[in-house]
Amino acid sequence: MRISTLFYFVNFIYMEFIFHLFFWQNVKVSLVPGLFVIALISVLQGFLQSFLKGRANKIFMGVCFGVDYLLFGSQMVYRTIFKQPLMIDAVVMGGEDALTNYWREALQGILDTGLGLAALLLGIIWTMAVFKLWNPEAEPLTKKGVVVQVACILGACGLLAGSFLGMYRWSEEKYTEYQEFGYPDEVLELFGVMAFWFRDAELVKLPEYEEELALMPQKPDNSSEGTEGETAASEPEEQTPVYKDQVLPVNYEYLKEIGSDEVDKITDYVFSMTPSKSNDYTGLFEGYNLIYITAEGFSTAAIDANLTPTLYQLTHSGVVANEYYVPLWQTSTSDGEYVNLTGLIPDQQFSMSRSAKNNQPFSLANYFKAEGADCFAYHNNTLSYYDRHLSHPNLGYLFKASKLGDLDETEWGNSVFPMENANYWPASDLDMFKATIPEFIHEERFHVYYMTVSGHMNYNFKGNRMSSLHYDEVKDLPYSEESKAYIACNMELDRALAYLIQELYTAGKLENTVICLSADHYPYAMNLDNYEELMGMELDNSLDIYRNSLILWNSQMETVEVNEPCSAMDLMPTLLNLFGFAYDSRLYSGRDIFSDRAPLVVFSNRSFITDVASYNKKTGEVLSRTGEPVSEEYVSAMKSYVKMLHKHSAGILKHNYYEYFYQAMTK
C-alpha cells in the first residue's frame, strides 16, 4: 500500500502541475485543501489495491490511473471548449445530448488540447513503466496492516477536516470561495482539479458564515451633486408626473406564514429592497406584439454595415445601449436563455432546466397570455436539448423545435415544425423563420420567443454549414479564416431578421411589433486573438470581453440612447415596464434600464460594473468610472451586495419562491 499510495500521490501532483501550466501558465494552487484531498484519495486507492494480488493488483492500478486521467483529461477538453469547468450535473444531464449533437466541437476540443492531454498521459506512462521495472511485490495483508491502513485513512480524513477548519478560521475569503462553489472556475484554478471534483460531488458539507442582508450602497459623496441639488431647488416648481413604485400587492403576513425558513429569508430580503418606480417609458409599448430572440454566440463583432445591414440598422436605432454586457455563465447557452427570460442570476448549472419544476406566474409569456396574446417559442435544433421541451412550456409558451431528439414521436411529434434543411449543422435561422412565421403572423396579438443556432461554433468553412453558405461574401475580408467564418454564419441571422421585418410589414404588423434580441454569450470558442481582431481591442483578463450589442427596436419609435452600463439581466424588467405590465421590481436581479435604480452589471464570478466603478475579481483591479477615487468601503459594500444578489436569485430558483409570492398576492 505504501508504495502504490506514493505513486498515486506523485501522479496527482504531476497532473495538477500540467493542468495549471496548460491553462494559467502557473502552478499557484492552494495547498489547503487541495493537497489533503489528493492525499486522501491516494490513500484510499492504495488501500483498495492492497486487497489484490498479482495480475489483479496491477490491473487495478491501471484502472485507477485511467480514471484519474479521465478526471483531468475531460476537464481539460471541456474547459478548452466552453471556457468553464466540467461539472457532474453536465455529465449526468447533458452528456448524451452533447455527444450526439456536438461531437464535432468535442473532437475539435480534443485536437486543441492534444499537447496537454499528451503531457498528462506521459506522467501515467512513466509511472507504470517504473512500477513495471521495479516490479514490487504486493505486501502481505495482515490484521495489523489493515489497522495501520485504516488509521492512515482516518488520519488523512482528520488532516482534511483540519484544513477546512484552518481555512474557516484564518482565510475566510478562500473558505467561502470553496464552500459556496459560486464560481467553479475559480475553485478549479485556486484549489486544483481533485479538490474541485471533491467539492462538486458534495463529499463534504461545510458550514456557512452567517451574513447580514446587503443592500445597494449609496454612491460616494460628491460635492458637485449637492450643488446641482441646490440649483434645482431654487428653480420654479414645474408640474411633474407621478411615478409609482413597481411592486405587486402582497399579503406579507400570509407570505411569512406559508413559507419555510429559507423562503422567509428571501421574503425578508425582497421587502428590504427599495423598488424602482415607473418612468417616462412605462407602457410605451402597451398592447404591442413582442418577438424576443436569444441569438446563439452573437456579438458586436458580427455587425458590419455592408455584410449584416439589418443587424447594423437595428443595433443603431430603437434603444441603443452603448455599454451593454452579456456575461458568460456556467451552462453557457441555457444559462444565457435563463437570464434573458427570468432576469435572475443562474445558480450553478442547468437553471433553465431546473426551473421547469417551479411555478412561473411572472414569465413574459404568462404576462402576455393574461392579456389574451398567443405565445409561441421556436428553436432550430433538437426539441429535448437542455430539457427545453419541459422548461419553455412551463414558462407559458407553445414550444416547437425543428428536430425531435431522443423523445418519443408519439408523444412529442406535434412539437416539431417542418423546416427545410433541418439537418444542416448549424441549421439556418432564415429557414426557421420561414417555417414558423406563418403560424403566428395573422394572430390578433402575439408574443414569440426564438432561440437561434446559426451562430453556433465552430467557426470554419468545412464543418460550419452557415459559414460555408456565405463564404463568397467574406472570402476577401482582411481577417483570419475563423473571423471570416464567424461573420459569415451570422449573415444568416441577418437575413432572417430582414425576412422577419418584411413579413411583419406585409402583414401590417410591423408598426405595433417590438423586436428584442440579445446574445446567450459571446463567441467564447473563438481564438482570443481572432476575437480581438474583430472587436478592435485587447480583451485578455478584461470585462470588455463580455461587451455586446442589444436590439430593442420598433419601427415607429425614436432612437433612445442608454449610456449607463446594463446587461442581459436587465431585459426582463425593462420589457415588463415598456409593455406596461404590473410587476414587482424586487423579484429580479436586473433592473429596468430606464428606472431610477443605480445601474449594475453582475458577472458569474461576482465581478461588477456600476456607474461609479468596475471591479474585476479575476485581477483584483478596481477602476473608477467618474474620475474620482473609489473608497474601499464602497467596493466592499458592492461586493457584499453582489454576493447577496447571487444568493437571492439562487433562493428563488431552489425554493420555488414565485409560487409562495403568487399565493400571497391572492390573499
Mean pLDDT of 362-388: 96
Classify strands 613-616 and 560-562 as parallel, antiparallel or unpaired.
unpaired
Q: Each residue of 515-558: pLDDT tens digit?
A: 999 999 999 999 999 999 999 999 988 999 999 999 999 999 99
Do 334 and 193 lie in a common domain? no
Q: Each residue of 404-459: pLDDT tens digit?
A: 988 999 999 999 999 999 999 999 999 999 999 999 999 999 999 999 999 999 99
Do 33 and 177 lie in a common domain? yes
Do 450 and 565 lie in a common domain? yes
Mean pLDDT of 348-369: 95
Tell me, what's the pLDDT at 94? 61
How many Cα atoms are found within 13 Å in the side-chain-facing hemisphere of 52? 15
DSSP 529-552: HHHHHHHTS--TT-GGGGEE--EE
Share of the chain above pLDDT 70, in %: 92
Do 369 and 480 lie in a common domain? yes
> Is the confidence at residue 106, as pLDDT, over 60?
yes
Which residues neighbour 238 within 8 Å (Cβ) at sequence distance 6 or greater?
none
Instruction: Give kind and range of the element (H or E) at residue 374.
Output: strand 374-382
> Is the confidence at residue 118, as pLDDT, over 90?
yes
Do 474 and 366 lie in a common domain? yes
Mean pLDDT of 256-270: 93
Domain-located, residue 620: no
CA atoms of 19 and 14, how far apart (whole Å) = 9
Angle at 362 between CA 360 and CA 368, to 5 degrees: 110
Domain-located, residue 89: yes
Cell numbers describing residue 34: 487541495
Domain-located, residue 271: no
374 — pLDDT class (breaks 50, 70, 90)? very high
The structural domain count of the chain equals 2
Tell me, what's the pLDDT at 231? 38
Tell me, what's the pLDDT at 426? 96
Return the CA Rg of the chain.
Answer: 27
Q: Which long-range contacts (CB under 8 A, 24 or more apart) does 599-602 make?
A: 599/564, 599/565, 599/566, 600/216, 600/565, 600/642, 601/325, 601/327, 601/565, 601/566, 601/567, 601/569, 602/327, 602/345, 602/567, 602/569, 602/642, 602/645, 602/646
**Coil, strand or helix at 356:** helix
Do 449 and 567 lie in a common domain? yes
Domain-located, residue 497: yes
Mean pLDDT of 482-499: 98
> Is the confidence at residue 225, as pLDDT, over 70?
no
Domain-located, residue 517: yes
234 — pLDDT class (breaks 50, 70, 90)? very low
> Is the confidence at residue 226, as pLDDT, over 60?
no
User: What mean pLDDT value characterizes the chain?
Assistant: 90
> Is the confidence at residue 141, as pLDDT, over 70?
no
Do 173 and 296 lie in a common domain? no
Do 194 and 294 lie in a common domain? no
Do 157 and 288 lie in a common domain? no
16 — pLDDT class (breaks 50, 70, 90)? very high
End-to-end CA distance of the chain: 66
164 — pLDDT class (breaks 50, 70, 90)? confident
Domain-located, residue 406: yes
Tell me, what's the pLDDT at 152? 80
Tell me, what's the pLDDT at 660? 96
> Is the confidence at residue 591, as pLDDT, over 50?
yes
Domain-located, residue 209: no
Domain-located, residue 447: yes
CA atoms of 42 and 11, how far apart (whole Å) = 9
Do 412 and 512 lie in a common domain? yes
Do 430 and 541 lie in a common domain? yes
Mean pLDDT of 159-169: 83
Do 579 and 454 lie in a common domain? yes
Tell me, what's the pLDDT at 217? 82
Instruction: Give kind and range of the element (H or E) at residue 185.
Output: helix 184-191
Tell me, what's the pLDDT at 528? 95
- Out of 200, 228, 260, pick the residue that ends a domain: 200
- Out of 167, 200, 233, pick the residue that ends a domain: 200
> Is the confidence at residue 136, as pLDDT, over 80?
no
CA atoms of 75 and 200, how far apart (whole Å) = 13
Across 47-51, 183-187, 201-205, 251-255, least confident range:
201-205
**Domain limits at 98?**
2-200
Q: Each residue of 65-86: pLDDT tens digit?
A: 999 999 999 999 999 988 889 9
CATH classification of the domain holding 415: 3.40.720.10
Buried b (16+ CB within 10 A) or exposed e, 123-150: bbeebbeebeeeeeebeeeeeeeeeebe
Spatial contact of 177 and 168, defined as CB atoms under 8 Å apart: no
Spatial contact of 314 and 320, defined as CB atoms under 8 Å apart: no
203 — pLDDT class (breaks 50, 70, 90)? confident
Tell me, what's the pLDDT at 99? 54
> Is the confidence at residue 232, as pLDDT, over 50?
no
Single-letter amino acid, residue 358: N
- Out of 563, 595, 627, pick the residue that ends a domain: 595
